[in-house]
Chain A
Amino acid sequence: MTELLKNKVALITGGNSGIGKAISIRAASEGAKIVIGARDEKTGKETVDYILSKGGEASFIKADMSDPKQIDSLFEKTIEKYGEVDLACNNSAIGLSPHVPLHEYDTNDWNHMMSVNLTAPFLCMKHEIQHMLSKGGGSIVNMSSANGLIGTKGHTTYTANKHGLNGLTKSAALDYADKGIRINAVCPGGVETPMFNQTYGKNSEAWKKARDFHPIKQLGTPESIAGLVTFLWSDASSYVTGSCLSIDGALTAQ
């Protein structure tokens, strides 16, 4: 344990599964007190129990990111328990939609995806920044995607969400750069989460095709994404803000 994040309070939305779970576990191992805000109580509590079993500190707060009232309540409860938020990763998201061309895309689906993938990070940042301003600093990482930098066929809504999130990151970073708050986005390519393996079927032809879509011919691991988030939360990245960092095995270098 290097304790890069010792005694910091770190809020991770969607910190119960996939990339978010890896971030929760890694940050806890670096000494942070973890708050997982997520919908699913079962996996949320499992992740908390795992962190506690390793001697870390963590709590779960149930929150549905499509409901602004639940986001307000997530922060009320976090502040009630810990009094502050030093680090935040706005990570909850609805994943890549099935390939649906724009002219057939249901407007209600667009609105729902927009609310979870873009409005929720905005609402979370309002709370996070307010608390960080009162404390004199903090570091926010928004979980974007390679789709925040490029487009892919059949994923118009997700691409729009993530481009929006990168835009939100850059402008917000400029607003608070001289106030001690750093705000960055992480833009992963394909990451081998349980959901990814389930969607593609591990080692199936489709899975291999998705893997080999990345010039490095590998998928990311949730742990490696957590590594970048940890770096961006730590003081080692004290001059990094407003950046949308690709972590994608050279996918966007083409």
Chain B
Amino acid sequence: MEDKEFSGKVALVTGAATGIGRASAIKFAEKGAKIICSDVNEISGNKTVSEIIENGGLAHFIRADVSNGAEVKSLIDQIIKSHNRLDFAFNNAGIGLFDKQIDQCTEEDYDKVMNINSKGVWLCMKYEIPIMLEQQSGCIVNAASQAGLVGGAGLSIYAASKHAVVGFTQSAALEYGAKGIRINCVAPGIIDTQINQPFWDDHPELYEEWKSGVPMKRYGTADEVAEMVVWLCTKDASFVHGSTMPVDAGMLAR
């Protein structure tokens, strides 16, 4: 449903090819925002764009690897060149690493996960914030995780990368709070998206077992996280700043 708070506004979603990023891009577009879908995966990223356009929305794709500063800078430069503003940014691009204990992890694992999940969020904010400061408005949502607040066996590097997202979000909120920019993060629980698929492929028996451990006895949908992401960008959320919003069916309450 079109919403005048969003119509004509410009929203960037990184990791928009699949999962939570895709669902959020679609939801922002449904509200009337113009979407920049960014991803390393051009084919799937463009599929999200096509879906938005087919539904009457506005979107285009810009390829960027969020772990590369020059590419992120270029992404933001291109957005400003085309739209001359950036109202909402969902820094969501990330990868999973769910099944490796610390002694089994390689330096390559560490660098890859930290560079995308953590450095990527920092780089995106680094280039988004000056634009928003100039506008004296803007709203940033970073993708943390349940694993941004607690640990998990086999998740150490992923958890560290997501804890970093919470730390970046809180610190950035303190730095820019009085300057018209709001910065928050979402902490999804176990969401049934492609990021988990390699893990489920390796451990099909755990799919049902883990589900029974979720207080709601079901996994979340990408759409349910997208609802929170978009809500955080509304005027209703005007006093929500520096917050980590769980969307986790009660996992963190345990």
Contact = CB atoms under 8 A, between A and B. Distances in A.
Interface of A: 2, 169-171, 173-174, 177-178, 188-189, 191, 214-221, 224-225, 227-228, 230-231, 236-243, 245-254
Contact of A250 (B170, B189, B215, B228): B170
**Interface footprint category on B:** 35 or more
Contact of A253 (B170, B189, B250, B251): B170
Given A188-B239, A253-B242, 17 more contacts: A169-B253, A174-B253, A177-B249, A177-B250, A220-B239, A230-B236, A237-B228, A240-B228, A240-B245, A243-B246, A243-B248, A246-B242, A247-B240, A248-B239, A248-B242, A253-B241, A253-B243
A170 B253 CA distance: 5
B153 interface: no
Given A173-B215, A174-B250, A239-B225, A253 B174 contact: yes
A237 B227 contact: yes
A150 B32 CA distance: 38
A117 to B, nearest CB: 20
Contacts of A191: 239
Contacts of B221: 239
24 contacts: A173-B215, A174-B250, A215-B242, A216-B182, A218-B239, A224-B236, A224-B239, A227-B235, A227-B237, A227-B238, A237-B247, A238-B224, A239-B221, A239-B224, A240-B245, A240-B246, A240-B247, A240-B249, A242-B250, A243-B248, A245-B245, A247-B243, A249-B241, A253-B173
B101 interface: no
A217 B239 CA distance: 10
Contacts of A173: 215, 250, 253
Nearest to A26: B236
B207 interface: no
B198 interface: no
Nearest to A230: B236
A227 B234 contact: yes
A54 to B, nearest CB: 19
A77 to B, nearest CB: 31
A188 B237 CA distance: 12
Nearest to B212: A178
B178 interface: yes
A242 B243 contact: no
